């Protein structure tokens, strides 16, 4: 918005009466109170021209497209704002209005330190994204726990479960009090039906996560083969 604007404005009301003159701060207050809408006619003394309020450079910022009420309600219900979803790596490049729409398909899962998020072997049907805190994936073999990976803010797990609803391959435990965002398979299906414009970027982001997982696992497998061959060669050399 322009600063130090001391010229006056008139605003054309719905009752066909011109209100004013008023300076810019007063006009801004009228906009915030709803007396002047985006399509209201405003007379700017400097130009001696009537224009739509939303067409005036100094007022455009006040008429940025607002979020749909359903998204506002979802944000209030979840206790998070659309912008906070940018903490999630897979959503970092998604348009903010789409992030706002995504809120209506998410659940918030809060867990205390050492709380269990999912159990190995149970039917998987959801993707989880870490909004706050930290969790770890573990397996227990012969009574001994092995941590497979630790996931902090921005990371996700369950990307395969939301696609094929297969059994969980590991326990996921919270290392500290954590806040997770859950997208269930049912919510994903609903999003496909109701919001295809949102489904496309979400699935593209999910595909990238899965591709990265495959690359990581492939690299680990290759490293294990190299290690095994090196160990075998070393043993053979000692014989």
Rounded Cα gap, residues 36 and 66, in angstroms: 16
* Model pLDDT for residues 82-101, shown as the tens digit of each residue: 888 988 999 988 877 788 88
Cα-based torsion angle of the residue sequence 227, 232, 237, 239 in order, rounded to the nearest 10 degrees? 150
Q: How confident is the model at residue 225 (pLDDT cuts 50, 70, 90)?
A: confident
Average pLDDT for the chain = 86
* Model pLDDT for residues 162-203, shown as the tens digit of each residue: 988 999 999 999 999 999 999 999 999 999 998 888 888 899
CATH class of 69-222: mainly beta
Residue 176 three-state SS: coil
Rounded Cα gap, residues 204 and 193, in angstroms: 17
- DSSP for 138-173, please give it: EEEETTEEEEEEEE-TT-EE-TTHHHH-PBPSSEEE
In the chain, where are the structural domains located? 9-63, 69-222
* Model pLDDT for residues 125-147, shown as the tens digit of each residue: 999 999 999 999 999 888 898 99
Q: How confident is the model at residue 80 (pLDDT cuts 50, 70, 90)?
A: confident
pTM over 0.85? The answer is no
Rounded Cα gap, residues 26 and 196, in angstroms: 42
């Amino acid at each position: 918005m322009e600063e130090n604007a001391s010229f006056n404005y008139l605003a054309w009301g719905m009752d066909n009466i011109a209100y004013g003159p008023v300076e810019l701060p007063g006009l801004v207050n009228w906009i915030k109170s709803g007396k002047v809408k985006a399509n209201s006619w405003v007379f700017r003394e400097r130009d001696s021209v009537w224009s739509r309020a939303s067409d005036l450079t100094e007022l455009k910022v006040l008429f940025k497209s607002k979020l749909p009420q359903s998204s506002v309600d979802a944000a209030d219900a979840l206790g998070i704002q659309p912008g906070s979803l940018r903490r999630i790596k897979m959503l970092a490049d998604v348009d903010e209005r789409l992030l706002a729409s995504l809120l209506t398909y998410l659940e918030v899962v809060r867990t205390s330190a050492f709380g269990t998020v999912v159990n190995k072997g149970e039917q998987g049907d959801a993707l989880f994204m870490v909004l706050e805190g930290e969790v770890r994936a573990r397996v227990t073999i012969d009574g001994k726990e092995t941590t497979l990976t630790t996931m902090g803010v921005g990371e996700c797990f369950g990307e395969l479960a939301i696609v094929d609803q297969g059994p969980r391959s590991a326990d996921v435990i919270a290392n500290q009090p954590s806040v997770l965002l859950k997208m269930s398979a049912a919510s994903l299906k609903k999003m496909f039906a109701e919001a295809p414009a949102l489904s496309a970027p979400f699935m593209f982001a999910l595909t990238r996560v899965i591709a990265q997982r495959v690359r990581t696992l492939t690299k680990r497998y290759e490293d294990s083969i190299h290690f095994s061959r090196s160990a075998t060669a070393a043993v053979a050399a000692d014989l």
